[in-house]
Structure 1
Amino acid sequence: MRILLDECVPRPLKRELIDYEIWTVVEMGWSGKKNGALLQLMVQEGFTILLTTDQNLRYQQNLQQAGVAVVVLMAPSNRLPDLLPLIPDARNVLNMIAPGEVIEVGGS
């Protein structure tokens, strides 16, 4: 499983997931790519999961067709202190999510 951290997710969050093969959009050189192009690049490079805070992605892209799983972190903001409490639940989801699925973690 290869995981990509979306641009909207703070890069230091990667340190909380060191037991996964995880890369950031910036590390891949994909900064500024639109979601459709990003999903295509992900598939080409063997990524299977996108970790994002973008709550609208599921409505903008055909994720089933793209074959990429998406984990949406639902927090008051995309700041690291707001996202850190979601990591335990995100880990559980990462271990069971299937291609084409979108699972929201957190929120109320």
Structure 2
Amino acid sequence: MRILLDECAPRPLKREIPDYEIHTVVEMGWSGKKNGELLRLMNQNGFTILLTTDQNLRHQQNLNQAGVAVIVLVSRSNRLPDLLPLMPNARTAISTIKAGQVIEIGDF
């Protein structure tokens, strides 16, 4: 399972998911790509999950057609200290999410 960490999420979150192959958008050279193109690149490169803080993605893209799953971290900001408490639930979601699904994890 390959996970892509969106560029709107802090890169140190990568350390919070040690049991999976995880890459950042920056590492892949995909910075600045629009969501549709990013999802297409993910699919072509064997990524199965996008970890993001972009709450609008599910309304902008057909995720079933894209063939990837999306985990959205919802917090008062996308700063690392605000997102770290969400990571235990994110790790659980990673192990159960299916292609086309969107799971929001937040402190709501």
Pairwise same-fold verdict (TM > 0.5): yes
Structure 2: distance between partners of 1:46 and 1:83: 26
Provide the residue aligned with 1:27 in structure 2.
Answer: 27
Structure 2: distance between partners of 1:30 and 1:18: 22
Matched positions, count: 108
1:42 shift after superposition: 0.1
Moved more, 52-61 or 12-21: 12-21
Structure 2: distance between partners of 1:83 and 1:28: 22
1:18 shift after superposition: 1.5
CA displacement 1:25-66 (0-9 Å, x = unmatched)? 000000000000000000000000000000000000000100
List structure 1 runs of 4+ shifted beyond 3 angstroms: none
- Over the residues paired in the alignment, what is the CA RMSD in angstroms? 0.5
Structure 2: distance between partners of 1:8 and 1:103: 17
What aligned pairs does 1:41-80 form with structure 2 within 5 A after superposition?
A: 41-80=41-80
Percent identity, aligned pairs only? 75
Provide the residue aligned with 2:39 in structure 1.
Answer: 39
Paired residue type of 2:105:
V
Contact 2:86 2:107 survives alignment (8 Å): no
Q: Which runs of 5+ in 1 are unaligned?
A: none
Structure 2: distance between partners of 1:15 and 1:34: 25
Paired residue type of 2:59:
Y
Contact 2:58 2:102 survives alignment (8 Å): yes
1:107 shift after superposition: 3.2
> Could you state the TM-score of these two structures normalised by the residue count of structure 1?
0.98
